[in-house]
Amino acid sequence: MSNNYRATTIGKALREALQDMLDSEDLSAEDANKFFEYFDEGMTKKLIELKPNPKKKKVQLKSRLHSYNFVDNCWNFHLEKVEIKDLRDITDAKNETLTVDRLKVTAVDAKVHKKS
**Is domain 2-49 classified as CATH 1.10.287?**
yes
Per-residue pLDDT tens for 38-60? 988 888 888 777 766 656 677 88
The arithmetic mean of pLDDT across residues 88-114, rounded, is 76
Statement: residue 84 has pLDDT above 70: yes
Give the Cα separation of 88 and 99 in Å (integer): 17
CATH number of the structural domain 59-115: 2.30.18.10
Please state the rounded mean pLDDT for residues 75-89. 87
Residue range 19-28: mean pLDDT, rounded: 94
Domain ranges of the chain: 2-49, 59-115
CA distance 99 to 4: 27
CA R_g for the chain: 20
